[in-house]
Amino acid sequence: MLWKSAYFAYMAAMLLMAAWIVATPLIAYQNADSSAPLYDVGKYICHQKISRTLCLFDTPSWGIGDCTPQKNVFRDDKRSEICADGKGGVAADCSALSGYGYKFPVSARDMAIYFGMLFGGVAFAIVKKPESTRMPNWIWLAIALLPIAIDGITQLFFLRESGNALRVATGLLAGVAMSFYILPIFNTVVVGTKLRKALSASGNPIGFTDTRTKAKGDEKPEFATGWVNLAIFAAVAAIVYAGMLILMHPSGA
């Protein structure tokens, strides 16, 4: 049914994102050159600072850990040489995990946000329903985003240097919370479009206003509300994204 397409499209997009993140270092282990395009994609959505990124290690056993000590250092070494010193050797302060590691294509915080959005989508279907249009109060989103804002802003202005564990924690919280707002907004738009077409076909005026009715505990917001919320959410996301690229992306990278 049409009203369910928003949820499944969202989950498909998140699964593709997660697959890209996980597959990149795995492909690098097979052939570093083949993974180059996958890493290049990440440059457009993340600063890719190596000290703020997690790595996949295969020695002594498979595991995920810090690529380097948390020193806010950006190095554009060969992708496979996560612990490289820039001169073809291995840095003395390499991660406690021995050997080389391959970094994920986005930072620890970004990776946590994307996986948080995926987990949030699963939780959304369990707690509510895939087609739910009921959105929590905006205050809860502000509260969920507060830790990541404090952590990111204080780090941005060099007041402190965060760690990957904290970046992951705040990123997961933000990602999960965003799913409970993105999905209702998308569902409202899809449901509203279906209702609008149905009423138009039945002779009702195109400019109808959908009154708020309750069905199985769900509120059906006005048709226009979904588009307004979507526009606001998209505008805020675009501004935040542009600011991150301008302020945090290493120059010349």
Cα–Cα distance measured from residue 6 to residue 167, given in angstroms and rounded to the nearest whole number: 29
Domain extent listing, the chain = 6-103, 109-248
Task: Per residue of the chain (253 residues), give pLDDT as tens.
Answer: 444 568 999 999 999 999 999 999 999 888 878 888 998 898 888 888 877 888 887 766 788 887 776 665 555 543 444 454 444 445 555 544 455 678 899 999 999 999 999 999 999 999 998 888 888 998 999 999 999 989 988 887 777 878 899 999 999 999 999 999 999 888 888 765 554 554 455 554 444 344 444 444 444 444 455 667 667 767 766 766 665 555 455 443 3
Whether residue 60 has a cis bond before it, omega within 30° of 0: yes
Do residues 80 and 32 lie in contact, with contact meaning Cβ atoms separated by under 8 Å? yes
Q: What integer pLDDT is reported at residue 208 of this predicted model?
A: 39
Helix axes 138-156, 164-201, angle to 10 degrees: 140
Sign of CA dihedral 196, 200, 202, 203: positive
To 5 degrees, how large is the angle CA 16–CA 17–CA 21? 115
Q: What predicted TM-score, i.e. pTM, was given to this entire model?
A: 0.75
Which residue matches tokens 């999905």? 183
Q: What pLDDT, on a 0 to 100 scale, did the predictor assign at position 189?
A: 80
In the numeric block, the tokens 């007041």 are attached to: 159
